[in-house]
Amino acid sequence: MTLPPQIQAWFDNKGWSPHPHQLSMLERADAPATLLIAPTGGGKTLAGFLPTLADLADDAHEGLHTLYVSPLKALAADIKRNLRTPVDEIGLDIRIEDRTGDTSATQKRRQRVDPPHILLTTPESLALMISYEDAPRIFKGLKRIVVDEIHALAESKRGDQLMLALARINALCPDLRRVGLSATVDDPAAIACLLARHPDRCDILVADPGPAPDIAMLETREAPPWAGGGAAYAIPAVMEQIRQHRTTLIFHNTRAQAEIFFHNLWLDNPDGLPIGIHHGSLDRQQRQRVEAAMVRGELRAIVCTGSLDLGIDWGDVDLVIQIGAPKNVKRLVQRIGRANHQYNAPSKALLVPANRFEVVECIAALQAVQEGDLDGEPRGPGPLDVLCQHILITACSGPFHADDIYAEVTTAGAYADLSRADFDRCLEFAATGGYALRAYDRWQRLLQRADGRWQLRDPRASRDIRMNIGTIQDNDTVKVRLRRNRGGKPLGEVEEGFAATLSAGDTFLIGGQIVRFEGLREMTVEVSRDAARKPRIATFSGTKFATSTQLSARILALLRQPGWPCLPAHTAEWLNLQREQSRLPEFGRLLIESFPHDGREHCCVYGFAGRNAQQTLGLLLTKQMEEAGLDPLGFVATDYATLIWGLEPVRDPEILLDRDTLRNGLANWLAGNAVMKRTFRASATIAGLIQRNTPQARKTGRQATFSSDILYDTLQKYDPDHLILDITRREAHRGLVDFGRIEELLDRVGDRLELLRLDRVTPLAAPLLLEVGKVPIKGAAEERLVAEETRRLMQEAGLAEL
Amino acid sequence: MNGHVFTFSGAELVALGSGALWWQDRGLLCVSDLHLGKSERIARRGGAPLPPYDTRATLDRLAADLDACNPATVACIGDSFDDLDSANALPEDERLWIARLQAGREWIWIEGNHDPGPVALGGAHHALLRVGPLTLRHIADPAAQAEVSGHYHPKVHLRLRGRSIARPAFLVDRDRIVLPAYGIYTGGLRSDAATLCSLMRPDAIALVTGSSVYPVPMPRSA
């Protein structure tokens, strides 16, 4: 396909010429699937839509022509604006509309009857669309689909859900062409495999990445502290950078850190520079206000988290600052890309390590960026809970043959290797619950008809299924509001667990202001403004990332160097001391230090397996130590090590680190673990076993529901091989438990365990003593706590003798 | 036996960790809100197919209490079944199991709002029951005294050094006892809800269930 004259004329009028990758996209317009990898600001969106515009310029098209899917509602709205302008200027008669959770019901109904040429939507809204009986009519004539920011979708179940929906649409429209738009990624082939219909080929087009980024570590007068994540020491230096630049984005790894840093910035802002905060826990209106101010160029800096990670065009950012080690090189590169949206200007970024060890991690990450060495964890096969939901969604749209759906599902890359047995288990689950006890023969959700097709037993069930579409799990948050007579201003959300720990008078940070907890009313935290300068820390956690496998390996390689001219002197000296007094950890062996400190025995295991895996290792090791009579008292974990303290020294690490023992320990420990229950709740909700939204629950609220933990315990006891428990165990292997990385560690070190007995704490272990998040070891702790607390309350009430 | 011993209207009672009430002198074990057949009812009405093990899990719990106490009389004080259809739809082995539990003892079903009529199972059916000084009924009558009831599924929230737990609990004051729900798939009503705060006297005690039973002043809204 070539550029139609009116589009060529538009480029000429503007005095522009199309980027080479934009023309290549046009040439490949007929390829079944194409993945375009281009930096932000490289005209990526126009490249994705150019074949559509060219096609629609040539001849009239009835109904839907191109579907655009992005991970964010805001992005869909943004693209609608950005596409409208060139389309109008070229003079094309094209209808462009978005359809997201924010679209009105009237508008949605109209779109179903009379679809626009280009529809911009999200994976969830698309899944809802394929659940309608009239889906074949809606998608009739659809030619192209553009998946934007596909690298972000590929990392989560939203991507799996989207690809299953595309498999379904592809069955309705066999000639569908797929285009994926992605930021720089480590493994383009993996994304291509996800995008293309299996086994179609998928060309990968890599646009000129532009000049290398200008990236360095921020120089500060003060050395970073030994432990912690706040980077408060860097406030004056960061303030100086804000003064020197037009607009600075300051990224943090967690929301709590962002809040604290923002608060501290304002305490040290004599010029009163306009600085805003943006993260996922803030109220939507608050976020939108900050976004609007940013687009108008009114803010000099925005303190933010991953909520600003995606490619929305916020305006004139000329500096990106990353506070805390980036944990993951790929994400760092994508964040750096937020600076300088002009195609040919280098992005400018500064890294600010929050503590001494992070200096090493930042340098390792800088080297990785310079060498273009990105990291990524392979995602594994498509998750079955998403497939269960997809089967229910399919059933909503009408009766189906199992063979057809199986054939369809396996055209999605992530499900290409799905076995028929696994598919049948998911179908069985959707139909009957899939229990060993066949209790629901009369009340199956799906029934097989005489013609062999499956359908909903009760068509009214489709309403509940549609209300629960999606794979995003809100982390049980509660809203925070200012206390007023008629409901005050919403400020944002905190995790329910955090809200439960608040007592009247407690203060915490939200949206950069200190508020005082007044009370809990109908699942809303009511607060008042507080003039205090120091809050009780907001512990709502956001996401805690673990340092990636590749970055950990780079750090270990860096530690092997004979000297460290690349590191600041304070950090190089620290590593030298460690080398003199003990040893430095190495890739192919596991260093374990054992030393007395403060009247207790300590044992530090340098696994470099990432925070989650080191945490799991701590739980498993202390359990073993308890059995071996070493009386562990507690432990703390970071991305690189686990420090355990107790009454007896460790002398025999082989026993503790035996793989089979660890794996058995994991199975037993996991069964009763809160992380496992949380994972279960997420998967059970996605699979449709637990319905978050029901029309009744909305009305009555209380008392109707019981905890998903009860379902988990019941299944564990009576049906331990149930599909959802299987899925839960698979999920837990990664994610928060991350046992996969413990196995990787054991593979890497083999039998090369190195126990050093030392007479005092070592330089590398010392910062761990200062870490927060220490985990006490407790046996029957909850019962003891209940006994203590109830006794105290009785005494307080003068009822101790009852 | 794990439990909390207390005297109520002249009767010496034990609140058990399972949520049952044991009156040794009369050989009476009292349980409330078993909600047997709940998962079946949810599925029948087009809800999600929950693990269909709630009835046996609840009966397992009850069997353990019967073993420990060997009561002469068992009183189930209402909402023993999630509805009358689910009572009739109980699988055969679960019906037989209930019959085995009933063998050799008096068994009383008191009707509740979920199961307002007789069921086709062994045992006597009553609207309410008087035993010595006590009256057993499903829903508390605010004017009554010496009353044992259920219905509200009371639970208590406790804040323990940075974490919060919720557990089913007995509510006790000088006039009445409200039993926690005994069934496995049952939610609960927080003790600080207005209904419970106005039903119970200001000096009411909550008995928190678990592997032991802990008395605590009934938590109310501030």
Please tell me which of the candidates A689, A714, A791 has its beta carbon nearest to residue B57. Answer: A714
Question: Does B216 contact chain A (CB < 8 Å)?
Answer: yes
A301 shares a domain with A221: yes
Using a CB-CB cut-off of 8 Å, the residues of chain A touching B158 are 786, 789-790
Please check the confidence at residue A334 and state whether its pLDDT lies above 80. Answer: no
**A432 to B49: CB separation less than 8 angstroms, yes or no:** yes
Domain ranges of chain B: 3-217
% of chain B exceeding 90 in pLDDT: 82
Phi-psi map region of A738: left, alpha, beta (phi>0 left; psi -120 to 50 alpha)? left
Cα gap A129→A132, rounded to integer Å: 6
A589 shares a domain with A507: no
Cα gap B183→B111, rounded to integer Å: 16
Which secondary structure element, helix H or strand E, spans residue B22, and what is its range? strand B21-23
Range among A201-210, A282-291, A640-649, B32-41 rated most confident: B32-41
A349 half-sphere exposure, CB direction, 13 A CA radius:
26
**B187 to A497: CB separation less than 8 angstroms, yes or no:** no
Scanning every residue of chain B, which has its alpha carbon at the shortest distance from the alpha carbon of A518? B222
Cα gap A517→A237, rounded to integer Å: 33
Q: CA dist A41 to A19, A250, A303, A655, Å?
A: 12, 20, 22, 55
Cα gap B3→B214, rounded to integer Å: 8
**Among A178-187, A191-200, A367-376, A750-759, which is the least confidently predicted range?**
A367-376
> Could you tell me where the DSSP H helices lie in chain B?
38-44, 54-69, 84-88, 92-102, 194-199
Question: Does B103 contact chain A (CB < 8 Å)?
Answer: no
Closest CA to A408 of A602, A628, A166, A242: A166
Question: Does B212 contact chain A (CB < 8 Å)?
Answer: yes
Q: What pLDDT, in 10s, does the model give residues A469-490?
A: 998 876 566 778 888 765 677 8
Scanning every residue of chain A, which has its alpha carbon at the shortest distance from the alpha carbon of B207? A790
**Among A73-87, A329-343, A706-720, B145-159, which is the least confidently predicted range?**
A329-343
A258 shares a domain with A391: no
A365 shares a domain with A321: yes
CA dihedral B99, B102, B103, B106 (to 10 degrees): -140
pLDDT score for A701: 35
What is the number of H-type helices and E-type strands within chain B? 5, 16
Scanning every residue of chain B, which has its alpha carbon at the shortest distance from the alpha carbon of A706? B187
pLDDT score for A697: 46
CATH no. for residue A144? Answer: 3.40.50.300
pLDDT score for A377: 72
Range(s) of the domain holding residue A233: 214-370
Please check the confidence at residue A540 and state whether its pLDDT lies above 60. Answer: no
- Sign of dihedral through CA atoms A196, A199, A201, A206? positive
Q: Which of B50, B79, B153, B156 should be substituted to probe chain A, the one whose Cβ sees the most A Cβ atoms within 10 Å? A: B50
Strands A319-323 and A348-352, bridge-based pairing: parallel
**Among A227-231, A320-324, B47-51, which is the least confidently predicted range?**
A227-231
Question: Does B5 contact chain A (CB < 8 Å)?
Answer: no
A590 shares a domain with A494: no
In which residue are the tokens 């609990």 written? B169
**B52 to A717: CB separation less than 8 angstroms, yes or no:** no
pLDDT score for A311: 55
Closest CA to A138 of A115, A164, A118: A115
Closest CA to A69 of A185, A179, A231, A233: A179
**B163 to A461: CB separation less than 8 angstroms, yes or no:** no
Within a domain: A397: yes
Which of A177, A206, A235 finishes a domain?
Answer: A206
Which of A440, A467, A494 finishes a domain?
Answer: A467
Q: CA dist A535 to A261, A263, A283, A508, B61, Å?
A: 12, 10, 20, 5, 47
Please check the confidence at residue B222 and state whether its pLDDT lies above 70. Answer: no
Q: Respond yes or no on whether ipTM tops 0.95.
A: no
* Cα Rg, chain B, nearest whole Å: 17
pLDDT score for A228: 76
Using a CB-CB cut-off of 8 Å, the residues of chain A touching B46 are 457-458, 460-461, 464
A709 shares a domain with A731: yes
Please check the confidence at residue B198 and state whether its pLDDT lies above 70. Answer: yes
Please check the confidence at residue A181 and state whether its pLDDT lies above 60. Answer: yes
Using a CB-CB cut-off of 8 Å, the residues of chain A touching B49 are 432-433, 435, 440, 443-445, 689
Task: Give the amino acid at A352.
Answer: V
Please check the confidence at residue A780 and state whether its pLDDT lies above 50. Answer: no
- Sign of dihedral through CA atoms A21, A22, A25, A26? negative
Using a CB-CB cut-off of 8 Å, the residues of chain B touching A460 are 46
DSSP letter for each residue of A289-324: HHHHHHHTT--SEEEE-GGG-S----S---EEEEES
Q: Which residues have CB under 8 Å from A339's CB, separation 6+? A: A249, A317, A318, A319, A320, A347, A348, A349
**A719 to B222: CB separation less than 8 angstroms, yes or no:** no
**A719 to B47: CB separation less than 8 angstroms, yes or no:** no
A395 half-sphere exposure, CB direction, 13 A CA radius:
33
Range among A33-42, A169-178, A318-327 rated most confident: A169-178
pLDDT score for A779: 40
Please check the confidence at residue A541 and state whether its pLDDT lies above 60. Answer: no
Please check the confidence at residue A419 and state whether its pLDDT lies above 90. Answer: yes
Scanning every residue of chain B, which has its alpha carbon at the shortest distance from the alpha carbon of A724? B51
Please tell me which of the candidates B46, B187, B211 has its beta carbon nearest to residue A461. Answer: B46
Q: First and final CA of chain A: distance in angstroms?
A: 87
Closest CA to A514 of A480, A487, A542: A480
A704 shares a domain with A596: yes
3-state secondary structure of A771: coil
Within a domain: A801: no
A238 shares a domain with A179: no
DSSP letter for each residue of A782-793: HHHHHHHHHHHH
A714 shares a domain with A576: yes
Chain mean pLDDT for chain A? 85
Q: What pLDDT, in 10s, does the model give residues A350-392?
A: 999 998 899 999 999 999 988 888 877 777 899 999 999 999 9
Within a domain: A548: no
**pLDDT higher at A201 or A674:** A201
**B47 to A440: CB separation less than 8 angstroms, yes or no:** no
| Count of domains forming chain A | 5
Tokens standing for residue A154: 């590929």
pLDDT score for A695: 61
- The answer to whether A551 and A608 have CB atoms below 8 angstroms apart is no
Please check the confidence at residue A702 and state whether its pLDDT lies above 90. Answer: no
Tokens standing for residue A801: 């003798």
Cα gap A593→A615, rounded to integer Å: 17
pLDDT score for A168: 97
DSSP letter for each residue of B179-206: PPP-SSS---EETTSHHHHHHS-TT-EE
Please tell me which of the candidates B51, B187, B208 has its beta carbon nearest to residue A786. Answer: B208
Length of chain B: 222
Q: How close, in Å, is residue B89 to chain A by CA atoms?
A: 10
φ/ψ of A237, rounded to 5, equals -65, -40
Please check the confidence at residue A777 and state whether its pLDDT lies above 70. Answer: no
DSSP letter for each residue of A492-518: EEEEHHHHHT--TT-EEEETTEEEEEE
Please check the confidence at residue A575 and state whether its pLDDT lies above 70. Answer: yes
**Fold exhibited by the domain B3-217:** Purple Acid Phosphatase; chain A, domain 2 (3.60.21)
Question: Does B143 contact chain A (CB < 8 Å)?
Answer: no
Within a domain: A376: no
Chain mean pLDDT for chain B? 93
Using a CB-CB cut-off of 8 Å, the residues of chain B touching A497 are 163-164
Q: Which of B54, B214, B221 should be substituted to probe chain A, the one whose Cβ sees the most A Cβ atoms within 10 Å? A: B214
Closest CA to A358 of A387, A323, A331, A330: A323
Q: How close, in Å, is residue A785 to chain B by CA atoms?
A: 7
Closest CA to B187 of A681, A724, A709: A709
A716 shares a domain with A575: yes
**pLDDT higher at A329 or A210:** A329
**A783 to B210: CB separation less than 8 angstroms, yes or no:** yes
**pLDDT higher at A551 or A78:** A551
φ/ψ of A234, rounded to 5, equals -90, 0
pLDDT score for A11: 92
DSSP state of B161: T
**Among A362-371, A590-599, A657-666, A776-785, which is the least confidently predicted range?**
A776-785
- The answer to whether B1 and B16 have CB atoms below 8 angstroms apart is yes
Phi-psi map region of A142: left, alpha, beta (phi>0 left; psi -120 to 50 alpha)? beta
DSSP state of A253: S
Scanning every residue of chain A, which has its alpha carbon at the shortest distance from the alpha carbon of B210? A783
Using a CB-CB cut-off of 8 Å, the residues of chain B touching A778 are none
**pLDDT higher at A73 or A781:** A73
Within a domain: A358: yes
**pLDDT higher at A408 or A488:** A408
> Could you tell me where the DSSP H helices lie in A177-218?
188-195
- Average pLDDT of span A673-695: 82
Q: How many CB pairs under 8 A join A and B?
A: 130
Q: Which of A396, A457, A710 should be substituted to probe chain B, the one whose Cβ sees the most B Cβ atoms within 10 Å? A: A710
Range among A609-613, B28-32, B93-97 rated most confident: B28-32
Q: What pLDDT, in 10s, does the model give residues A710-753?
A: 899 999 999 999 999 999 988 877 777 788 888 899 999 988 99
Q: How close, in Å, is residue B175 to chain A by CA atoms?
A: 17
Tokens standing for residue B77: 């004080």
Closest CA to A472 of A283, A306, A682: A682
**Among A45-49, A94-98, A512-516, B158-162, which is the least confidently predicted range?**
B158-162
Q: Which residues have CB under 8 Å from B155's CB, separation 6+? A: B166, B167, B168, B169, B180, B188, B189, B190, B191
Please tell me which of the candidates B43, B163, B184 has its beta carbon nearest to residue A443. Answer: B43
Which of A370, A397, A421 finishes a domain?
Answer: A370
**A786 to B160: CB separation less than 8 angstroms, yes or no:** yes
A584 shares a domain with A511: no
Residue A775 burial by Cβ neighbours in a 10 Å radius (0-12, 13-18, 19+): middle
What is the pLDDT confidence band of residue A459, given thresholds at 50, 70 and 90? confident
DSSP letter for each residue of A660-698: HHHHHHHHHHHHT-HHHHHHHHHHHHHHTSS-S--HHHH
What is the pLDDT confidence band of residue A522, given thresholds at 50, 70 and 90? low
3-state secondary structure of B154: strand
- The answer to whether A273 and A243 have CB atoms below 8 angstroms apart is yes
A391 shares a domain with A341: no
Q: How close, in Å, is residue B154 to chain A by CA atoms?
A: 10
Tokens standing for residue A338: 């937020």
pLDDT score for A704: 45
Q: What pLDDT, in 10s, does the model give residues B91-119?
A: 999 999 999 999 999 999 999 999 988 88
